[in-house]
Structure 1
Amino acid sequence: MEVAVEDESNSKADETEKAIASFSEAAAKIDPSDLAAFLEQLLDKFWCLPEDQVGIPEEADISFFLALLILKQFPLSHISTSVYDTSVDWINKLPFLTLRAFVLWACKSLADAKPTYQPVALLIGLAMILRSKPAALTAVLPKLRDRPIYQGLDKLPLLVWMMAQASQGDLSAGLYSWAHNLLPLVEARTILVNRAVRDGERLIPPSSFEILIRLTFPPSSARVKATKRFEKVYPLLKEVALAPETATQGNAVEQIFTFSLKLAGEGNPGLAKEAAAIAMWSVTENVDCFKHWEILYKEHLEASVALLVVLGTAVAAAGGVAGAALALCSH
C-alpha cells in the first residue's frame, strides 16, 4: 500500500512538472505585438461571449486544482511584463459590465466538475481582471454567495484564490470579499470570537485594531470608496479584537485603552466618539486601566474630558444604585 501511495504521489508530481513546463513554453511563445493586434481586432468587433475572450494558449488537459498548483509554482509574474501590460491595457478598455460578466462566467466554468475551457487559461485571464479591476469581484459577491453552483467546501479554494487576486489590486476589496462571502461560509463569527487568541497571540492585535479604527473613521475630507467596505466589516472585526481572553487579556486591554484615549483627542468627531466608547469599555473591563489613566490623563486632557462625558452620560442613564456604583468607579 505504501508503495502504491508513493507511486501515485510521484505520478502527480511528474504530471505537475509536465504541465508547468507546457505552461512555461506557451507563455514564452506569446508575442506582445501579435497579442496587441489580436486584442485590437476584438475591440473592433461586436462580441460579448466570454469564451471568445480567452486567448492564452494551453495544451495540457488538466484539472482545476492542478491548475491552481501550477500558478502557485509558476506565478503570474513569470509572464513577461510586456505581455501582461498589453493584456491589462486591453482589459482597462472594456466596459465594466463585460468584466463582471466574465468573472461570473469564468467562476461557473471553473466550478463545474468538467470545465469546457482550460483551467489555466481561465485562471490567468481571471487573475488579470481581478488584479486590475477588483471591483469586478465585489460587484458579483451576492451571486457568488446565493447561487448553489458556487457553494460548498469544494468551491472554497476558488473563492479564496479570487479574493487573493483582488487583494493584489485593492486590499480593501479583498477584505470586503472575505468578510461578506468567506466568513459566512464557515460560520466564522462564533469561531473567531471564541478563539480570539491563537498560540498566545490575538487574532487582531491592538496595533492592527488601531489601524482598522482609523481606516473606518477617517476625517470627512479623507473618506474614499474603500471607507464603506471597512465600515461593513468593522463590527465583526471589532468584536474579535475585543473578545475576552485569559492570561494576556490585561495587557491587551491596556494597549487598547492607551491608543483609544489618544484617538479620542485627535479632533475627528466620528473617531473620537468611537474611541471614547472603546476606552470606556477598557476601564470597565480591566480596573488597572484606571491606574493607567491616572498616568496618562495629563498628556491627553481633551480626550480624558471626552471620556468623562461618556462616563457621566452612562451614570445618568444607569441611575439608582448602579449609577452610584459607576459614579464611584469614575471618581
Structure 2
Amino acid sequence: MEDNHGAFESNSNEVTTGNDHGWQKVTYAKRQRKAKPNSSDSASNRIVSNGAVPGADNVFRSLEQQSAIRRLQILEAQRSAVAVDADFDAPVRSKNEYDSSDEENERVVENGKAEEAKKVKPKKPKKPKVSVSDAAAKIDADDLSAFLVNISESYEGQHEIQLMRFADYFGRAFSAVTAAQFPWVKLFRESTVAKFADIPLSYISEAVYKTSADWINKCSPEAFGSFLSWSLDSIFADLVSQQAGAKGSKKGVPHVSSKSQVAMFVVVAMVLRRKPDVLVDFLPTLRENSKYQGQDKLPVIVWMIVQACQGDLAVGLHAWARNLLPVVTGKSSNPQSRDLVLQLVERIMSAPKARPILVNGAVRKGRG
C-alpha cells in the first residue's frame, strides 16, 4: 500500500496542460534539488562511462585546426621565401641570358628606324628647267654695259683677263641651263651647216649683241688668240666628257659641266663675227696642234668658220681652203666629214653677191 501511495503521490505531483491535453507537470524544487546529482560526480561518471573527458572533442578539434593553420602558414612562408629568392636571382640570370637578344632587338629597332627614315626621307624638289632662250631673255644690256665698263677699269691693259671675265658674265647668265637643254654635240651632228650660224646666238637680243660687239672691238688683237685657245679647250673637254659618258666609261676623264658651254659658244661666236681675222691668225694652231684635230672635233671647226663668215665671207673661204680642203682629200676622211666640208663651201659660194665679195676680199687682203 505504501508503494502504491508513493506512486500516486509522485503521479499527483505532475499535471500536464497544453499539448498534454490540459495536464501540466508540477515539479517540487526541494525534491528536484535532492535529485540533482553533483556536477563533479556527474563529470566523473561521464569520464568513467564514456572513457573521455567532457568537451575533449572540442579541445582536440581546436588544437588540430591550430596545428593545420600553423602548417599552412609555414608552407606559405616557405613559398614566399622561394619566390623572393627567385625574384632576386632573376635579374642576374636574365642579364646574362637576354643581353644578346636585347642588343639584337635594339639593332632591329635601329634598322627599322633607318629603313623608315629612308622611306620617309623627303625628296629634293626638282629644279625648274631653264632653256637657253629663257636665260638669254634675262640678260639686260644696261647691266652688261656697266659690267664691261667695270672690268675695263679694273683690268686696264689686261685684255686677256677682260675677255675671260666677259665669258664669266655669260657663264653666270646661263648657269641654270643644263646639258639636256643645250645638247650641242647632238645639235651639230643632226643639224645642217646652214643652221650652224644660229647656234646659239639666235637667242641673244640685238641690244646685248651690239653692246658686246662694241666692247670686243676695243680689245687688242693679241688677246684673242689665247682667249680662243682657252675657250676651245673648255668646249673640247666637255666633248670628251660626253663621249666617255656615252660609252659608259668615266675612268681617267675629268668631268666638265656642260652648263657653261652655252656661254663659251656665245662669246666665241661674237668674237669671230666681230673680229673674223682672229680666225685667220688661229688657223695654224688648229692645223698643227693635235688636240684640235680629229673627226669628232671637225663640227666645231666648221661652226667656227661659219661664224667668221658672218663677218667676212672671204675669211671663211680662206679658212675652208687652208684647213678643211685637206680633210676632204685625206685618207682619213669619211662620208660624214666630206659632207660637212662640202656643205660649208656650198654655203659660202651661195651667199648673196658671193663672187664679188670673195674676189675683192682676196685682192684687198692679199690672200688667195
Q: TM-score, normalised by structure 1?
A: 0.50
* Counterparts in 2 of 1:33 and 1:175: CA distance versus 1, 3 Å: same
For the aligned residue pairs, the C-alpha RMSD in angstroms reads 3.6
Q: C-alpha deviations, 1:91-144, integer Å up to 9, x for none? A: 111111112221121112111224467211100000000011101111110011
Q: Which residue of 2 aligns with 1:144?
A: 286
* Counterparts in 2 of 1:25 and 1:188: CA distance versus 1, 3 Å: same
Which of 67, 85, 99 is the equivalent residue of 2:184? 67
Contact 2:131 2:177 in 1 (8 A): yes
In structure 2, distance between residues paired with 1:213 and 1:45: 45
Which of 124, 127, 131 is the equivalent residue of 1:22? 131
Contact 1:64 1:119 in 2 (8 A): no
Contact 2:136 2:204 in 1 (8 A): yes
Does residue 107 (structure 1) correspond to residue 249 (structure 2)? The answer is: no
Does residue 184 (structure 1) correspond to residue 326 (structure 2)? The answer is: yes
Does residue 224 (structure 1) correspond to residue 349 (structure 2)? The answer is: no
Deviation at 1:215, TM superposition (A): 7.3
Does residue 87 (structure 1) correspond to residue 196 (structure 2)? The answer is: no
Between the two proteins, the alignment pairs up a number of residues equal to 192
Deviation at 1:52, TM superposition (A): 2.5
Which of 248, 269, 274 is the equivalent residue of 1:127? 269
Deviation at 1:214, TM superposition (A): 7.2
* SS across alignment from 1:154: coil
Amino acid paired to 1:93: K
Contact 1:64 1:110 in 2 (8 A): no
- What runs of 5+ residues in structure 1 fail to find an aligned partner? 1-17, 192-202, 232-331
In structure 1, distance between residues paired with 2:205 and 2:231: 23
* SS across alignment from 1:100: helix
Q: C-alpha deviations, 1:14-40, integer Å up to 9, x for none? A: xxxx97x52111111111111100011
Amino acid paired to 2:177: A
- What runs of 5+ residues in structure 2 fail to find an aligned partner? 1-127, 189-194, 242-255, 334-344
Bigger Rg, which one: 2
In structure 1, distance between residues paired with 2:184 and 2:236: 13
* SS across alignment from 2:178: coil
* Counterparts in 2 of 1:34 and 1:150: CA distance versus 1, 3 Å: same
Deviation at 1:63, TM superposition (A): 7.6
Q: C-alpha deviations, 1:65-108, integer Å up to 9, x for none? A: 81363985765233211111001111111111112221121112
Which of 49, 53, 68 is the equivalent residue of 2:166? 53
Q: Which residue of 2 aligns with 1:78?
A: 203
Q: TM-score, normalised by structure 2?
A: 0.46
